Structure 1
Amino acid sequence: MFYFVPSWYKNQSELLFDDTVNQIKMFYASGEIPKIVMLNYAPQLPFLLHQQELFEIDYWSAFDEIQMTNHVNDKLLNIADFSWPKDAEFIYTPFNVNVMSQNTLFAQISFGTGGYITAIDFYDKLQISKRIMIDVRGFVSSIIYFEQGQPRYQDYLSPAGVWQIRQNFGNEIFKIEVNTAVINRFKQPVYVNMDELLSEVVDNYFNRQQKSENDALIIAADMRHNKLLLHLHCRPDKVVLSLFKDRFPYAENMIAFLDELKFVSLVVVDTQEKVTQITKQLVAYQYPKQETVGRIAHLSPYDTRFELGRSQQSRNLDVLIKASQFSESEKNSMNDILDYMLNNVSVKLFIATNNQNKNEWDNYIRQYLSIYFHVTEETMTSWLTENSDDTAENSINKAPLDDVDLNTVSAKFIYQRISINVFSDENKIIKLFEHIRLIIDLNPFPDVFIQIAGISAGIPQINMSISDYVENRKNGFVIDENNTLNDALDFYLKGLKNWNEALIYSVKKIEKYNSGAIVNQWQEMLGNHYA
């Protein structure tokens, strides 16, 4: 059995680029039996797993164990299931429902992406007094009580509505209290903190499991739970720490990391550069070299499970650039691409960014076009306002060309060939890659997911650095002091010869990074190393 402990603490709706999600999918596709071990409180977990197509994966939740909600019959709660004042007025907004009583705010109802009620905040004299958290399976899961607008304590409830534990947020020595009515379910009446309780609950869980020498505990490395899991009395002998992006800042926590290595069979990282960095850090701390050999490995967190694109069937040359930082180097690259578009009318640009920088890029592009075509920003702004289309990717996408001067028409024409995208789920990227001809990622360390997805779709990629996934002039182009971005664009957009060769090479790489090959690497490494 492969037990996966995720790090889903912040925004649990954004699991797309998470290593655990993709590792589970790879193991399941390879015929292995993965199981999710969920430590943190997540009343929306079943829906989120369904969203990520993990609904067939078995999971165990520590809070289900604490709250006795392991086996509940699902039902859909709606507003009418709750008690409201007789004069309650329900005001619907795009994101929530405000409940008014006696001309003042009585409650605010929040909904999740699936249309489920997720929480209800109650107010007293316009100040929040309590918040009830709704489990997606259809029951009140917990209640947070407030004093003077600040959370005082949180009661975690059974399906019958009886609180099992109380988490205090004040200065109490014991943060966790057990309801005396259910004290027999726990070893202690009080706990110093939630970790102490979770250690007991997770230990009990592993103690009940049928053990095998092939069992492995795969931990999404995170300061919030590494110590808890590694110091369990009862757990699988084989333990893997999965380091992903900057989630676990090992360089700033080397003393803790060195201690954790004593309990770990294998450290898996998402890039070869990270292997080099960690090795250097360990040498600097005089960590025994023989203890690291073969224990720190780069294994791709993503597999090539997507379909080849069909961009060669289109006359358009759709180019995607990852530009999420809005840095000076990204602006310079954007200038080069916009210059290229001025002389290549078939090129369409798709900018992959985040919500924070979406408007920044839109303003930057408008300013660039305004300066280049000598069109005043007032004219651009006026035209954009008059021709806004909220359903388009950009505010003026697909807008009609008016009978105006040539410069204004030219600026519009370029702008209409640019789409700014914020990807919220995997399917949107896969759909877009069906018609993308070329990917550009000029970050020092290119995004691993985009690189793997690019290989899957057979799309060549332009990077600034060599990686395990993209090889220069084979399935991509690595820019150096002798080659410009313009050279790289010409290499893949002027004719199909180089593009077709990249497609053929990508097909060969697909075999290396399919789920079966990656899981085999995991198994080989785990078979040779024990905690």
Structure 2
Amino acid sequence: MYYFMPAWADEDSNLWENTAAPWYWASKKKFDDTVSQLKMFKQAQQAELLMSYRYSPFLRSFLAQEELYEVDYYNVFDDIQAIKDVHPRNFDFKDLAWPQGIEFYYTPFIVVARLKDQVWGRIEFSTDGKVLKIIRFKADEEITYWFDDRGFTSSIEVKASNNQKHFQYFLNPFGQWRIRLNVLTGEVAVNQKFAHDFERTEYSTFADLQNEKLKAFIDANLKPNDTLVVAGANYQVGFIAELKVPRQQVIFSIFAERLAITKDNLQKMSEYGEYFVVDTDSHLQLVTSNLADCRQICKVLQITPFDTRLRLGHSQKEKKLKIFWLLDGSSEAEIQNYFREVLDVMGANQLVELVIAANNEWNQQRLTNIFMPIINQHKMADEVTFDFLEQKDDEMEDLLDFKPKLPPKRLIRFVRIYSEETYLEELDDTRIILDLSNEPNLYLQIAGISAGIPQINRITNSYVKSYQNGLIVTSKVQLAGALKYYLEGLSHWNQALVYAASQISEYSGTNLINKWNLFLKKETVDE
């Protein structure tokens, strides 16, 4: 059995801080190795269990958002709060016991509760519309009622206005407090009524209590042939050290978007884990070199955390020839040089359209400053328009039936990458994927294979093979030729599609899990 310990919290956050945020604060979904691994193992019916040790009263909502349905989990706070077999229920905040005469005022973000022309409190909601917390304002203190997505009050936080007192009471489903946290000192006191459920009645740090429960669970459940998969993060090492799991049963998942791959970080991990999995070729070299002189035996496997799913695109049915270009990881100077090549191809072929994709680091002004001067230099300002709309708006296009007749312009559209779904939506009618960064985006590569779309990179890697499912360009001079290779006719494009079909099988979830099992000397699974 595989036990997964994710790293879903910020490194500087406290263990007791709620991992859920109000809907207007909630960040966009991030690519995460543990989420992908859980999906793969679940689909292959490989025994797995998620171990969560952060305060996550909205854990089930998070798992549903990530499409991790029916994943078994153990949560330390459920253990601490004695939450077992609670049937979820929905409730309307207006059904709670409010003072007589309370009035509710709805704003775009929250609901404000007023009593006798005074602000009594406010209600805030999660991303799925459930009550996340209710804040009660008093003259000398602020009381926050944190709710569980199963429909009960999870904890009550009491904070004095002068900041001299700050406690949080963690409750069982019946509203009885089981532990009291002094937020200012980190000390924990146990309710004497429930002292029999704990080894101590007082803890100097919350980590002491957390480690007690986590270690008890590991000792009772982890068998000699089980594996603990730990998402590589600096703050995870201390927890693993306390659990005292045998090295040969621990594997660290190194995901570069989360962890700086340094000798110090890796050698600390090697003290507690014998195995490492990494996501890309370059990270394999980096991890291997940094572990070369470690005191312990370490084994490293390069394997993608993302599996292929057959989602063949439909660009061959489209008249337009859409290029999807991911900017992340490229400098402005590189982008300008490559854009000149792309614009030459667009000038020679009127069917070519360009979609530029990037993350939050890119804004409208910056992109306009990069692209518009080159468009003007090519004297294509009357022919090409740069559109900063961050997503398609087909509905609005349908409504605008009475637009003035203007000369048609070819579109260069910008798309901001928020989630996996953004990629999948855009790739459906894409003819070529362009990623010219020093480290091609791994999720985009696997999604491109799943869709059968040829990819153009400039760095040699395991996922794109020249003249098979794409091309590796060695200088900007070759970019225009690489684009024409797949844009002129369907012969080369069809060859890439056929090759991608074999890759879809190679990088399927079952095959990837079998690589894990062979690496760890476990039994393989069948398709």
Q: TM-score, normalised by structure 2?
A: 0.85
2:4 aligned partner: 4
Give distance in 2, aligned partners of 1:316 and 1:344.
Answer: 10
**Match of 2:314, as an amino acid?**
R
Residues 492 and 66 from structure 1, CA distance in 2 versus in 1: closer, same or farther, beyond 3 angstroms?
same
SS in 2 for 1:527: coil
Contact 2:329 2:438 in 1 (8 A): no
Contact 2:229 2:250 in 1 (8 A): yes
> Which one of the candidate residues 184, 188, 191 is aligned to 2:203?
191
2:297 aligned partner: 291
Give distance in 2, aligned partners of 1:357 and 1:65.
Answer: 43
Correspondence list, 1:467-506, <5 A: 467-481=461-475, 483-506=477-500
SS in 1 for 2:482: helix
Cα offset for 1:434? 2.0
User: 1:354-410, CA deviations, whole angstroms, 9 ceiling, x for partnerless residues?
Assistant: 34535446644785588566979xxx99xx99xx99983899999676456xxxx56
User: 1:428-462, CA deviations, whole angstroms, 9 ceiling, x for partnerless residues?
Assistant: 43333222211111221111111111111111111
Correspondence list, 1:63-78, <5 A: 63-78=77-92
Residues 281 and 390 from structure 1, CA distance in 2 versus in 1: closer, same or farther, beyond 3 angstroms?
closer
1:265 aligned partner: 274
Structure 2: gaps of 5 or more residues: 11-18, 21-25, 523-527
Percent of residue pairs bearing the same amino acid type: 29
SS in 2 for 1:278: helix
Contact 1:141 1:157 in 2 (8 A): yes
Contact 2:341 2:476 in 1 (8 A): no
Contact 1:358 1:422 in 2 (8 A): no
> Which one of the candidate residues 423, 429, 446 is aligned to 1:452?
446
Give distance in 1, aligned partners of 2:2 and 2:380.
Answer: 62
Give distance in 2, aligned partners of 1:492 and 1:270.
Answer: 28
Residues 343 and 122 from structure 1, CA distance in 2 versus in 1: closer, same or farther, beyond 3 angstroms?
farther
**Stretch moving more, 482-491 or 24-33:** 482-491
**Match of 1:142, as an amino acid?**
S
Give distance in 1, aligned partners of 2:322 and 2:162.
Answer: 51
1:177 aligned partner: 189
Contact 1:318 1:438 in 2 (8 A): yes
> Which one of the candidate residues 153, 177, 194 is aligned to 1:140?
153
> Which one of the candidate residues 304, 310, 315 is aligned to 2:308?
304
Cα offset for 1:325? 6.1
> Which one of the candidate residues 417, 421, 425 is aligned to 1:422?
417
1:353 aligned partner: 358
Q: Does 1:521 align with 2:515?
A: yes
SS in 2 for 1:142: strand
2:171 aligned partner: 157
Residues 291 and 207 from structure 1, CA distance in 2 versus in 1: closer, same or farther, beyond 3 angstroms?
closer
Cα offset for 1:233? 4.2
Cα offset for 1:305? 1.9
Give distance in 2, aligned partners of 1:236 and 1:60.
Answer: 22
2:32 aligned partner: 18
Contact 1:316 1:348 in 2 (8 A): yes
Contact 1:206 1:235 in 2 (8 A): no
Give distance in 2, aligned partners of 1:374 and 1:496.
Answer: 27
Give distance in 1, aligned partners of 2:317 and 2:288.
Answer: 46
Q: TM-score, normalised by structure 1?
A: 0.84
Cα offset for 1:336? 4.4
Contact 2:255 2:279 in 1 (8 A): yes
SS in 2 for 1:109: strand
Cα offset for 1:82? 2.6
Correspondence list, 1:183-262, <5 A: 183-209=195-221, 212-233=223-244, 238-251=249-262, 254-255=263-264, 257-262=266-271
Give distance in 2, aligned partners of 1:331 and 1:428.
Answer: 22
> Which one of the candidate residues 482, 502, 507 is aligned to 2:501?
507
Cα offset for 1:153? 2.9
Residues 340 and 133 from structure 1, CA distance in 2 versus in 1: closer, same or farther, beyond 3 angstroms?
farther
User: 1:262-303, CA deviations, whole angstroms, 9 ceiling, x for partnerless residues?
Assistant: 3213111111211211222234xx335x823xx011111011
SS in 2 for 1:349: strand
Contact 2:312 2:428 in 1 (8 A): yes
Cα offset for 1:102? 3.9
Residues 70 and 368 from structure 1, CA distance in 2 versus in 1: closer, same or farther, beyond 3 angstroms?
farther
> Which one of the candidate residues 420, 424, 433 is aligned to 1:439?
433
Residues 55 and 394 from structure 1, CA distance in 2 versus in 1: closer, same or farther, beyond 3 angstroms?
closer
SS in 2 for 1:31: coil
Give distance in 1, aligned partners of 2:141 and 2:371.
Answer: 43
Contact 1:389 1:395 in 2 (8 A): no
Cα offset for 1:345? 3.0
- The total of aligned residue pairs comes to 502
Residues 291 and 248 from structure 1, CA distance in 2 versus in 1: closer, same or farther, beyond 3 angstroms?
same
Cα offset for 1:258? 1.8
Contact 1:439 1:459 in 2 (8 A): yes
SS in 2 for 1:260: helix
Contact 2:345 2:484 in 1 (8 A): no
Cα offset for 1:225? 2.2
2:68 aligned partner: 54
User: 1:250-271, CA deviations, whole angstroms, 9 ceiling, x for partnerless residues?
Assistant: 41xx445323313213111111
Structure 1: gaps of 5 or more residues: none
Give distance in 1, aligned partners of 2:283 and 2:114.
Answer: 54
Contact 2:455 2:470 in 1 (8 A): yes
Contact 1:463 1:479 in 2 (8 A): yes
